[in-house]
Amino acid sequence: MSSPHRTHGRPGQRPNRRLRALLAEARWTQGALARAVNAAAAEVGLSLGYDRTSVAHWLSGTRPRAPVPELVAEVLTRRLQRTVSPDAAGFTAASGPRAKRSPEAELVALAGTETDPARTITAQQQPYREALLRTARLDIPVPRNTGPRHGGSPAEAETRILQYAERFYAASLDAHGGRSARSSLAAYLTQDVTHWLRSARTEHARRALLVEASRLTFLLARMYEDARVHGLAQRCFVTSQRLAAESGDRLAWAIGLRGLSAQGLALGHHQAALHAAEAAAEAGQRADGGGPGAYLFSQLAAAQAACGLRRQALRSLGHAERCLESAAEQGHEHGPFTTYPPAALDFQRARVLGFLGDFSAACEALTRSLALRPATDRRGLALSHAQRAEILLRNGHVEEACISWHSFLEHYRYLRSGTADTAAFRLRRLLTPYRRIPAAAQVLARAAAERAGRYRRLPARARRLSLRSTLPLPVAQLPARPTSLN
C-alpha cells in the first residue's frame, strides 16, 4: 500500500481555500492541525509524522493519500462540533454520499472487509468518529414480546447455535486476544448468520435471530477494538446497536451502546462516553437487572469517575454490585451476555478508583480480580497484572511491580492483542528509568526477548506494520475486562 505521507499533485493545482477557511474558523495553526491529524491516526494504529509544512502543501492544493483526507475531516468535525466532509475540507471525494444501509446490509459490508484482502487495509485505516459516539444513542427500541424461548422450532435451533458461537468467540477473545479468530467470526456473520436472517419464516424468528446477530457483531467489535482498529470497531458497535434496535430488544441495544461508551472512554472522549453510558444504563434498567445491569452500571461508574463525578460514580458502582448480588440469587443461565463475573466488576472498581485517584484501593481491587479470574482468561489476567504493576510502580513498590510484570509477560506470550501490546510498550517506557535495579533489569530483558521473538515470527509485511507506534494510555484508562461483557 502506498504511504499516507505521499500526496497527489495536480497539474495547475489550485490553493485549497476551503481548508484555509476551516482552519481560520477552528482557530488552529497549521502545526495544530498536523498534530491533531497525527493523534487521530494513532487511534487507528497509524504512525504519522505530519508537521506544519505538510499542511502548507495541502493548503497549496496538494491532496494527501487516503486515509488522510478522512482524518483531516474528522479532526475538524471534532473541533467545530459539526460535520465536515473531506469534500468540504477541499479534498475531492472519491464518490458521492453513501445511502444509509439496512443493519443487515451494513453487517455484510463490515464483515466483508475482513474476508476481502483488497478492502482490508483501507477499511482498517478508517478514522474513529467522535460524532458517532454522540449520535448512536438516538433510536431506543420499543421492547417487544419475543415469546417463549423453548419451542423446538428450526428458528429456535438456529438461535441456540448462534448462542454456542457467542460462547466460543467470547472464549477465544479471552484466551487469545482480538487478532485471533476474527476472520472466522467475520466469515460466519457474512455467510450463516445473514442467510438465516434472510430466510427467517416468521417475524418472531427474525427478531430472535437479530438479537444473536447483534451480539456476535458486538464480539467482532470487541475484537477490532482489542486489535486497536478503532474505526471499524466503532462501526461494528453501531451496527450491533442497530440490529438490536430492529429486533426491539432494549437490553441488547443498551449493551451495544455500552461498548461504544467504553471505547470512547478509553480513547479520551470522556464527556461523550458519559452521555452514552447514562443512556445505556437507563435503557438497561428498564429492560433487566442482574448481570447485564452490573455490566451497564459499572461502565457508567467509570465514565462518571473519569469526568470527576465522585459521588455519582460510587453510587453507580454500588448499584452494579447490587445487580450482581441479585443475579447470583436468581441463578441466570451462564453466558457471555447473561452473566457478569465478579472478577470483571472488581476490575471495573479498580478503574473507577483509579480515575478518582485512590490507587491503593484500586490495587486491592485488582488483586481480588486476579484471584477470581479463570486460568483460561489469559487476556484479562495479562491486562490486570499490567495495570496492577503500574499502580505499584506509581506507589514506589518497584520490586513488587516487577513481580506483576513477570506475570503479565507469562500470559502475554500467548496473546495476539493490540491492547496487550500497548501494555508491553508501557512496561518498557515506565520501567526503563529503573533499569539499574536488578529486578527491573530482569523484566526489561525478558520483555525485550519476547518482543524480538514476536518480530522474528512475523511475515515481512506484518513486520512493517509492527513498527507503527503504540498509542500510550494513562494508567486508569487501560481497557476493561476482555470478554463480551467487559
Asked, for residue 293, whether it belongs to a domain, the answer is no
For 229-244, the pLDDT digits (tens) are 999 999 999 999 999 9
Instruction: Determine, yes or no, domain membership for 465.
Output: no
Grid cell digits, residue 10: 495536480
* 3 state DSSP class of 474: coil
Q: Note whether residue 151 is domain-resident.
A: no
Residue 28 lies in a domain: yes
The pLDDT value given to residue 420 = 96
Residue 46 is predicted with a pLDDT of 79
134 pLDDT tier (thresholds 50, 70, 90): confident
281 pLDDT more than 90: yes
Q: Residue 67: is the preceding peptide bond cis (ω within 30°)?
A: yes
* pTM of the shown model: 0.81
CA distance 12 to 18: 17
Q: Greater confidence, 415 or 65?
A: 415
What pLDDT is attached to residue 87?
80
Question: Is there a domain that residue 250 lies in?
Answer: no
Q: Please report the pLDDT score of residue 483 as a whole number.
A: 43
Helix and strand numbers (H, E) in the chain are 23, 2
Q: Please report whether residue 256 resides in a domain.
A: no
Report helix, strand or coil for 153: coil
Rounded to a whole number, what is the distance in angstroms from the first to the last CA of the chain? 35
Please tell me the predicted confidence (pLDDT) of residue 45: 72
49: domain range?
7-80
Report whether 401 contacts 389 (CB < 8 A). yes
Q: Do 107 and 189 contact (CB within 8 A), yes or no?
A: yes
Q: How many independent structural domains does the chain possess?
A: 1
Residue type, position 437, single letter: I
Angle between helices 270-287 and 290-306 (to 10 degrees): 160
Q: Is residue 66 part of a domain?
A: yes
Q: pLDDT value at position 471?
A: 37
- Return d(Cα 324, Cα 293) in angstroms, integer: 8
Higher pLDDT, 85 or 249: 249
Least confident of 3-17, 306-320, 385-399: 3-17
On whether residue 31 sits in a domain, the answer given is yes
Using one digit for the tens of pLDDT, what is the confidence trace for 412-468?
A: 999 999 999 999 999 999 999 999 999 999 999 999 999 887 766 655 544 444 444
Q: What is the pLDDT of residues 337-369, one digit of tens each?
A: 988 999 999 999 999 999 999 999 999 999 999
